Amino acid sequence: MNSILALKLFLVPFLIYAVTLAGRRWGPAVAGWLSAFPIVAGPILLAIALEQGSGFAAAAAEGTLMAVLAMIAFSLTYAWASGHLGVAGAMPVALCAWAVAVAALQSMRLSLPFAAIAVVGALLVAPRLFPAPGPQEQAQPARRGGDLPWRMLAGAVLVMSVSAAAAGLGPRLSGFFAMFPVMGTVLVGFTHVQAGRGSAVMLLRGTMLGYFAFAAFCVSIALLLRAQPVPASFFCAFVFALTIQLLVKAASSRRPTA
């Protein structure tokens, strides 16, 4: 139990800290790409597997895969609403869009192959649906603030809450809540306030590239946990997701920009 508690309390906040520093070093698009890697949902699923068993966690991973569609709804809603409502207005609207999407997806029962196809198709289309920033909304250098402790605290609270409630939520809904937009509400909100809407939209668009690796991770976990021990399953899934992450980044870097 001590090792599980340490995982919840320290790993996720540390990873959020690292993504925040990477964003300050290389920009919001890179931060978005990194934040979509399973740095929050991965530890949550690992804690669920250790506490609830491999079968429970495998089913939760299928829900987490479908929850990528809810995250796309959150990201697009925030990107468009923030142009008129600002941070304070756009964030609750985006969270409502996420909740509506989760409610709709919870009633759908797609097999793992069809769910993966649906997620990949949505990720291919989504980057084209983001608004282009206006001339006064271009990305700006971020103003440094005391936001790092809040980002780290939000990650720790999410992991503790979802893993503690997993037994009551059931595997599928636990998987959806593993994708609660903690990185969106914290990382995007602070980015918008400190660097402007253009940076926030760039970060959200960057997450679309990262979610390809996230989807690969979820599919791997859903398959491997039913046949392999927990440590081997998560190790192989993270290696596979990292490989996809690097391949997608390399492909996007070679694509000519307009």
pLDDT tens across the length of the chain (258 residues): 445 556 666 776 777 777 777 767 766 666 666 666 777 778 778 878 887 888 888 888 888 888 899 999 998 998 888 888 887 888 889 989 998 998 888 878 788 899 999 999 999 999 888 887 655 555 445 445 566 676 677 767 766 776 666 556 676 777 777 677 766 677 777 777 776 777 788 888 878 888 888 899 999 999 998 888 888 999 999 889 888 888 877 777 666 544
Q: How many helices (H) and strands (E) does the chain have?
A: 12, 0
3-state secondary structure of 196: coil
Q: For 146, how many CA atoms within 13 A lie in the half-sphere containing its CB? A: 0
Give the separation between CA 158 and CA 174, rounded to whole angstroms: 12
Where does residue 250 rank: exposed (0-12), middle (13-18), buried (19+ CB within 10 A)? exposed
The per-residue pLDDT for 35 is 64
Burial grade of 186 (CB within 10 A; 0-12, 13-18, 19 or more): buried
Is the distance from CB of 106 to CB of 172 less than 8 angstroms? yes
Q: Which are the contacts of 227, defined by CB distance < 8 A and separation ≥ 6?
A: none
> Pick from 133, 141, 139: which is nearest to 25 by CA?
141
The secondary element (H helix, E strand) that includes residue 162 is helix 148-169
Distance, CA of 160 to CA of 254 (rounded, Å) = 40
pLDDT value of residue 145: 55
Q: pLDDT value at position 258?
A: 42
Instruction: Give the per-residue pLDDT at 73.
Output: 93
**pLDDT at position 4:** 58
Grouping H, G, I as helix, E, B as strand and the rest as coil, residue 132 is coil
Dihedral, CA atoms, 93, 191, 133, 118, nearest 10 degrees?
A: -60
Calpha distance 71→105 (Å, rounded): 12
Give pLDDT, residue 139. 47
DSSP state of 37: S
* Residue 6 vs residues 3, 50, 138, 159: alpha-carbon distances, Å: 5, 13, 40, 11
DSSP element (H, E) containing 134: none
| Tokens encoding 63 | 């829900």
